[in-house]
């Protein structure tokens, strides 16, 4: 990964020189105030980057007063283990009510059937990845138990989040990719239909997908799921806590939730547009029988009868409390107000992009938009904008960059700065000093036809992950 000179994280070990490196257990503890001063200095530096409003996604709320409130709430329960409900019964309240509010937002009342198990339900996870891989686990075990499927397959649009592939890797599920339409960026439903077979356990649609922010044709996927009797998971990790408000505000948002009879589960991240602390997410199920496939219990352990509601064991009661507090302190009025500002800001920024004939929007986006170019490699624009302090997220196949609009972008002056900086960026890209963009090595331009290239790229990414978790060179070797 290339260094970003505008970001405090440009260097993998940015604080080694200033604060030293701890490569062994300290003999004596440091004074608490000294520790706090050091961490406050680092936090101020890192926060100053996203507070400009020029950072795509990442900080969805950006309201320091809201964060302070959530931190106060979290501190009351941060030391409590939600696994141990006998001494932490509040966790039952928080988790149950978070799920209830999310189910209400996703119109779960439309899915209520007869009998105690035919009732929509949910659980809280540590983030979108856990929600998604838990869904993969649920469907693997459901279809193994009910239909004897021993070689399960799931069908993914190429835009689906990599967490599905992680779940498939962990739980032995074959991934079948289907393409998206290059113009609409939406999954081609007929191609999904072609891939369904006797081993298919689930199909997936995104609302919206991460690369482009566009919403797959969930209604058509729902009809297909019912027709072929397979599960349909809707990945609303990114859009689940903003698209419903957009629909209520009158924006053109297609139905993607439990109002569609074929939708069997939905993931949505409370730590994104739910404006909670990292990391919490919800996994919502159409019925309780499905949710039971995520449970684990072993009654014969010498340590006692053990059970847990999901993949995690110990969980912080503080994160549950803070997610709950975010939702109840904002309420419908607060979420609607912030959603309107985010949607309107996104549309204004999209108009800036459309004002340049050299640029093109990908599909029909709403709160998150991606743009590319037929005239030049869009990463030339990315290079120039990085020099102006902007941090976009990048796509490949084709090369594109996106802005996931959050509350920091709704601050006065951000849209104007975007327009002021994008115009010279386009001029720069039309006549760049170098043929190959600097940032191309990060996201795009990888020739897939070269033998072994993807394994080489994967090896480089693994080395990067090693670097993120290891000490700087020369320390602790």
Nearest Cα neighbor of 281 from 129, 108, 110, 114 is: 129
Q: Which of 6-20, 79-93, 94-108 shows the highest mean pLDDT?
A: 94-108
Q: Are 372 and 363 spatial neighbours (Cβ–Cβ below 8 Å)? A: no
Distances (CA, A) of 439 to 8, 9, 58, 419, 436: 17, 16, 19, 21, 9
Q: Which residue has the higher pLDDT, 350 or 441?
A: 350
- Give the pLDDT confidence of 178-204 residue by residue, as tens digits: 999 999 999 999 999 999 999 999 999
pLDDT of 416: 97
- Give the pLDDT confidence of 61-71 residue by residue, as tens digits: 989 999 999 99
pLDDT of 468: 55
What angle is formed at CA 233 by the lines to CA 145 and CA 139, rounded to 5 degrees? 15
- Kindly list the strands in the beta sheet with 400-404, ordered across the sheet, starting from the edge strand earlier in the chain: 360-361, 368-372, 400-404, 393-395
pLDDT of 442: 47
pLDDT of 469: 52
Domain boundaries, the chain: 90-326, 332-442
pLDDT of 435: 87
pLDDT(222) > 60: yes
Q: Which residue has the higher pLDDT, 344 or 455?
A: 344
Residue 369's DSSP bridge partners are 403
pLDDT of 6: 42
- Give the pLDDT confidence of 411-437 residue by residue, as tens digits: 999 999 999 999 999 999 999 998 888
pLDDT of 116: 81
Q: Which helix (H) or strand (E) holds 91?
A: helix 90-105
Dig out the tokens for 367 from the structure. Answer: 């709160």
Q: Which helix (H) or strand (E) holds 236?
A: strand 231-236
pLDDT(94) > 70: yes
pTM: 0.89
Report the pLDDT averaged over residues 208-237.
97
Report the pLDDT averaged over residues 98-112.
94
Q: Are 286 and 266 spatial neighbours (Cβ–Cβ below 8 Å)? A: no
pLDDT(7) > 60: no
3-state secondary structure (DSSP) of residue 201: strand
Q: Which CATH number fits domain 90-326: 3.40.640.10, 3.40.1160.10, 3.40.50.450, 3.40.50.1110?
A: 3.40.640.10
What confidence tier does 81 reach under pLDDT thresholds 50, 70, 90? confident
Report the pLDDT averaged over residues 154-177.
97
Residue 153's DSSP bridge partners are 174, 200
Topology of domain 332-442, CATH: 3.90.1150
Q: Are 346 and 354 spatial neighbours (Cβ–Cβ below 8 Å)? A: no
What burial class does residue 133 get, using C-beta atoms within 10 Å of its C-beta: 0-12 exposed, 13-18 middle, 19+ buried? buried
- Between 122-126, 222-226, 292-296, 449-453, the lowest mean confidence (pLDDT) is in 449-453
What burial class does residue 344 get, using C-beta atoms within 10 Å of its C-beta: 0-12 exposed, 13-18 middle, 19+ buried? middle
Other C-beta atoms closer than 10 Å to the C-beta of 292 total: 15
- Tell whether omega for the bond before 134 is within 30 degrees of 0, i.e. cis: no
Nearest Cα neighbor of 339 from 61, 52, 65, 69 is: 61
pLDDT of 115: 81
Residues 6+ apart with CB under 8 A from 12: 467, 468, 472
Mean pLDDT of the chain: 89
Nearest Cα neighbor of 157 from 227, 200, 209 is: 209
Residue 231's DSSP bridge partners are 202
Report the pLDDT averaged over residues 56-64.
89
pLDDT(447) > 50: no
pLDDT of 440: 59
Distances (CA, A) of 257 to 111, 414, 431: 10, 33, 46
First to last CA, the chain: 23
Distance between CA atoms of 85 and 83, rounded to whole angstroms?
Answer: 6
Nearest Cα neighbor of 101 from 309, 316, 317, 275 is: 275
What confidence tier does 128 reach under pLDDT thresholds 50, 70, 90? very high
Q: Which helix (H) or strand (E) holds 7?
A: none
Q: Are 265 and 138 spatial neighbours (Cβ–Cβ below 8 Å)? A: yes
Encode burial over 368-393: b for 16+ CB neighbours within 10 A, e otherwise. Answer: bbbbbbeebbbbbbbbbbbeebbbbb
410 φ, ψ to 5°?
-80, 0
Q: Are 157 and 204 spatial neighbours (Cβ–Cβ below 8 Å)? A: yes
What burial class does residue 129 get, using C-beta atoms within 10 Å of its C-beta: 0-12 exposed, 13-18 middle, 19+ buried? buried
3-state secondary structure (DSSP) of residue 175: strand
pLDDT of 374: 95
Dig out the tokens for 25 from the structure. Answer: 């257990």
pLDDT of 11: 64
> What size, in residues, is the chain?
477
What confidence tier does 207 reach under pLDDT thresholds 50, 70, 90? very high
Nearest Cα neighbor of 417 from 346, 349, 347, 474 is: 349
Report the pLDDT averaged over residues 247-251.
97
pLDDT of 18: 85
- Between 22-31, 81-90, 272-281, the lowest mean confidence (pLDDT) is in 81-90
Distance between CA atoms of 284 and 70, rounded to whole angstroms?
Answer: 24
Other C-beta atoms closer than 10 Å to the C-beta of 151 total: 10
- Between 1-10, 224-233, 251-260, 272-281, the lowest mean confidence (pLDDT) is in 1-10
Distance between CA atoms of 213 and 290, rounded to whole angstroms?
Answer: 28
């Amino acid at each position: 990964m290339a260094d970003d000179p505008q970001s405090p994280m440009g260097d993998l070990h940015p604080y080694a020189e200033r604060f030293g490196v701890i490569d062994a257990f300290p003999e004596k503890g440091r004074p608490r105030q000294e520790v706090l001063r050091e961490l406050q200095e680092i936090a101020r530096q890192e926060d100053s980057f996203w507070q400009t409003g020029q950072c795509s996604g990442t900080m969805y709320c950006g309201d320091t007063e809201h964060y302070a409130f959530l931190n106060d709430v979290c501190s009351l329960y941060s030391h409590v283990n939600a696994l141990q409900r006998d001494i932490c019964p509040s966790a039952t309240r928080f988790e149950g009510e978070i799920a209830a509010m999310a189910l209400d937002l996703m119109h779960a009342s439309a899915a209520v059937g007869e009998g105690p198990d035919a009732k929509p339900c949910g659980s809280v996870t540590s983030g979108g990845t856990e929600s998604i891989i838990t869904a993969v686990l649920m469907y693997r075990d459901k279809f193994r138990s009910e239909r004897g499927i021993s070689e399960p397959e799931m069908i993914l649009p190429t835009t689906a989040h990599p967490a599905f592939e992680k779940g498939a890797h962990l739980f032995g599920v074959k991934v079948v990719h289907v393409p998206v339409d290059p113009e609409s960026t939406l999954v081609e439903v007929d191609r999904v239909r072609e891939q369904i077979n006797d081993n298919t356990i689930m199909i997936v649609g995104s609302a919206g997908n991460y690369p482009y922010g566009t919403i797959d044709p969930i209604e058509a996927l729902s009809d297909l799921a019912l027709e072929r009797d397979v599960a349909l998971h809707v990945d609303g990790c990114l859009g689940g806590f903003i698209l419903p408000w957009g629909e209520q505000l009158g924006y053109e948002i297609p139905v993607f939730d439990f109002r569609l009879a074929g939708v069997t589960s939905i993931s949505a991240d409370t730590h994104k547009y739910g404006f909670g602390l990292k990391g919490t997410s919800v996994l919502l199920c159409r019925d309780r029988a499905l949710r039971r496939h995520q449970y684990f219990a072993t009654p014969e352990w010498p340590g006692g009868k053990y059970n847990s509601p999901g993949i995690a064991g110990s969980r912080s009661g503080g994160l549950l409390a803070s997610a709950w507090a975010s939702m109840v302190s904002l309420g419908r009025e607060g979420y609607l107000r912030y959603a309107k500002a985010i949607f309107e800001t996104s549309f204004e920024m999209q108009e800036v992009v459309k004002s340049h004939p050299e640029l093109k929007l990908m599909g029909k986006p709403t709160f998150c938009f991606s743009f590319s170019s037929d005239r030049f490699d869009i990463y030339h624009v990315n290079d120039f904008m990085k020099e102006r302090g902007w941090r976009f997220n990048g796509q490949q196949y084709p090369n594109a960059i996106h802005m996931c609009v959050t509350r920091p972008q709704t601050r006065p002056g951000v849209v104007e700065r975007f327009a002021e900086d994008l115009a010279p960026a386009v001029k720069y890209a039309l006549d760049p000093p170098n043929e190959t963009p600097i940032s191309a090595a990060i996201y795009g331009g990888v020739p897939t036809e070269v033998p072994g290239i993807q394994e080489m790229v994967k090896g480089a990414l693994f080395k990067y992950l090693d670097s993120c978790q290891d000490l700087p060179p020369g320390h602790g070797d």
